[in-house]
């Protein structure tokens, strides 16, 4: 289930993804995988955490769930030494919708 979580966030895709013949809401899928004890602090093959991937690829609706329910660590660094907060700053996210 951890690898399924990584695959969800590695690509920029529409909020609703197709899986088989059903449409799945990505937030509900994240919640399900966290309930199944997926490790949200694992890094992908490029060294990015799931939280960093969610930020970089625009899955902002999943951030609160990853941080609160998944216990995502905010201080984990990616391949360039950036944390999730650094990624937000680099992308110019203004924090208009606080978590």
Count CA atoms closer than 13 A to 36's CA, side-chain side: 12
pLDDT for the residue 2: 65
Q: Residue 49: which residues within 8 A CB-CB, separation 6 or more?
A: 40, 41, 42, 43, 72, 73, 76, 78, 84
Of 23, 14, 20, 80, nearest in space to 52 by CA: 80
Q: Residue 58: which residues within 8 A CB-CB, separation 6 or more?
A: 12
pLDDT at 68 over 80: yes
CB-based burial of residue 28 (10 Å sphere; 0-12 exposed, 13-18 middle, 19+ buried)?
exposed
Query: What is the fold of 2-91?
Result: 1.25.40
The structure's pTM equals 0.72
18-33: average pLDDT: 69
* Residue-range domain boundaries for the chain: 2-91
């Amino acid at each position: 289930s951890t690898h399924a979580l990584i695959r969800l966030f590695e690509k920029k895709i529409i909020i609703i993804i197709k899986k088989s013949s059903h449409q799945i809401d990505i937030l509900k899928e994240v919640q399900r995988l966290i309930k199944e004890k997926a490790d949200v602090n694992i890094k992908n093959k490029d060294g990015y955490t799931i939280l960093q991937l969610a930020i970089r690829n625009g899955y902002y609706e999943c951030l609160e769930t990853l941080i609160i329910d998944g216990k995502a660590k905010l201080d984990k660094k990616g391949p360039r030494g950036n944390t999730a907060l650094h990624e937000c700053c680099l992308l110019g996210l203004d924090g208009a919708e606080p978590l």
